[in-house]
Structure 1
Amino acid sequence: MLNNFQKLTITTSEVKINLVKGGKGYPLLLLHGYPQTHVMWHKIAPNLAQEFTVIIPDLRGYGDSDKPIGMTDHYNYSKRVMAQDQIEVMAQLGYDQFYLVGHDRGGRVAHRLTLDYPNKVKKLALLDIAPTYQMYSETDQEFAKVYYHWFFLIQPFPFPETLINQNPDFFLTHCLQSWSKTDRPFSSEAMAEYLRCFRDPNTVHGTCEDYRASATIDLEHDRTDMDKKIECPLLVLWGNKGVIEKTYDVITSWQKRATNVQGKAVNCGHFLPEESPEETYQYLHDFFSISTKR
């Protein structure tokens, strides 16, 4: 996996961010989701690297990036702070502007990054998410049942951490299996990496803090910026067998938060880059390859 990519550690003003970098062309930043690491992109990153310089970090709290102890108000895991990490990473790599893709939690970081730094992101793609504020404000019984982890992981420390750490392999495997809808989408190498990282109690804590922030400080930031829209071209992709498809009109949801939206449903569950890599790659390639003013 990603053996032709350069491994780097970037020290930002607050944390060290682990990443891999490869390819040539316009910079393209890929942000992963829960409960995974940067290796979730391994099936499509080599193809993207034929046309773009691909940068794939572990978010703070995940993988081999730093995992600070959460603050009382969870601010240091707010999407604003996690976005700042990535801005500093790209600046140190020499990129003032770039394309951006975020899946799941990475999509929420990408959304906030694009709002806070509109001049940095030339095009944005979000995979299998609706806006965080909408998802919390429109929660019903069906959503809460399927997305139970949104409400479990936000419970005060150390309750969810203690339970998950009793058997992190079981919890992670259950999440991956229940949210995917295709046959054996995860390679053995990727699964080994996800398990290695999730066995670290600091990862469990960091990922819980990510969710705690989304239910508190992130919602405050979202309320403040409710009238602020994403101005760059936005592509939204989602799995046609997943919860997002069944629960939201994805295009309409994002048209309320962005000025230029297009989107497609992909034939899979939640993990588009691993369940349907060819289709996901093609949509991303076509979207980012169309010339835009830089």
Structure 2
Amino acid sequence: MLPVCQIPGFQLRDVMAGEVRIRTALGGKGPPLLLLHGHPQTHLTWGKIAPALAERFTVVAADLRGYGDSAKPEGGAGHVGYSKRTMARDQVEVMRALGFERFAVVGHDRGGRVAHRMALDHPQAVERLALFDIAPTVTMYARTNQEFATRYFWWFFLIQPEPLPERMIGADPEFFLRQHIEGQIKIPGSTSEAVFAEYLRCYRDPATRHAICEDYRAAATIDLEHDAADAGTRITAPLLALWGGRGTVGKLYDVLETWREKATDVRGEALDCGHSPQEERPEETLRLLLDFLG
């Protein structure tokens, strides 16, 4: 399926990660750079900065499994099909299929959690790691209080057993999606209507909504088990953390300190925005990212 809205200068290509088809947008020339979106976005979340990145890098903007126009396999027993381990392996296989054994990776929101796991499971592949507006999953669950549960209610709604959240969202996907995005973005209009329409096109698919729930169910179960098993392992790749100073992560956590508990080389700062720096503060995000990537 071809989206109506595309990133200028990028070509869409489906790449097989094992038996799972992953939709990618490819552009540019130079060292490889993988961009991973979050929920409820697709690879189009990078549209404001990807063309400039493509002037220096071979940019691969991928839809995570279950999202966008990528395949949507079942989660299986224990939601293993949407564990961050499985989702990270998808993207490593995509990059290998494109000829890249080692690359930089930038992840926002859910994509950041996939990138975190990738850096642990595939340290030989991850050259540099940038994470946008997240603290570690295990940290956020461990420190849950009423304020966090209120601000991030979907962390607890989407994990409910099938089909409760799927059917409730399915009653009015556009309302849920718009409320979700507008609640997190603090600079109105940062998500254009054309891009929102693409997010909605994908969100209207019941298989997408089910996959999203499986992603969150995995985060609350099998991902925590994997994190506990790796509690003593630290990320060795240089890590850049950027977050929105007006958002939940910036208000509730010392973001750099949470990542210094997980990685050996951490830097970063807050931007004057909400949850999506790449959409809300693209020029500043691009400057900081290029400085980090070198």
Q: TM-score, normalised by structure 1?
A: 0.97
User: Please, which of 41, 61, 64 is the counterpart of residue 46 of structure 2?
Assistant: 41
Displacement of 1:183 in angstroms is 2.0
User: Please, which of 78, 102, 105 is the counterpart of residue 110 of structure 2?
Assistant: 105
User: Please, which of 197, 200, 208 is the counterpart of residue 195 of structure 1?
Assistant: 200
1:259 aligns with 2:272: no
SS of structure 1 residue aligned to 2:77: coil
| Code of the aligned partner of 2:118 | L
- Alignment correspondent of 1:292: none
- Alignment correspondent of 2:30: 25
- Alignment correspondent of 1:12: 17
Moved more, 63-72 or 88-97: 63-72
| Code of the aligned partner of 1:156 | P
Displacement of 1:72 in angstroms is 2.9
1:186-243: CA deviation from partner (whole Å, max 9, x where unpaired)? 1122111001000000000000000000000000000000110010110000001000
Displacement of 1:2 in angstroms is 1.2
SS of structure 1 residue aligned to 2:78: coil
- Alignment correspondent of 2:135: 130
Unaligned runs of 5+ in 1: 290-294
Displacement of 1:13 in angstroms is 1.2
> Are the counterparts in 1 of residues 8 and 51 from structure 2 also a CA contact under 8 Å?
no
Q: Matches of 1:247 and 1:67 in 2, distance apart?
A: 33
| Code of the aligned partner of 2:127 | K
> Are the counterparts in 1 of residues 184 and 247 from structure 2 also a CA contact under 8 Å?
yes
Q: TM-score, normalised by structure 2?
A: 0.97
1:67 aligns with 2:72: yes
1:142-194: CA deviation from partner (whole Å, max 9, x where unpaired)? 00000000000000000000000010000000000000101211112211100
SS of structure 2 residue aligned to 1:85: helix
> After TM superposition, where is structure 1 displaced by more than 3 Å over at least 4 residues in a row?
none
1:80 aligns with 2:105: no
User: Please, which of 258, 268, 287 is the counterpart of residue 292 of structure 2?
Assistant: 287
| Code of the aligned partner of 1:37 | T
| Code of the aligned partner of 2:68 | G
Residue identity over aligned pairs, in percent, reads 56
Give 1:207-246 correspondences, 5 Å limit. Answer: 207-246=212-251
Q: Matches of 1:37 and 1:214 in 2, distance apart?
A: 19
Displacement of 1:3 in angstroms is 3.0
| Code of the aligned partner of 2:25 | V
| Code of the aligned partner of 2:175 | F
| Code of the aligned partner of 1:59 | L
Displacement of 1:135 in angstroms is 0.4
1:163 aligns with 2:168: yes
1:144 aligns with 2:149: yes
Equivalent residues, number? 289
Q: Matches of 1:98 and 1:168 in 2, distance apart?
A: 36
Moved more, 200-209 or 66-75: 66-75
Displacement of 1:14 in angstroms is 2.9
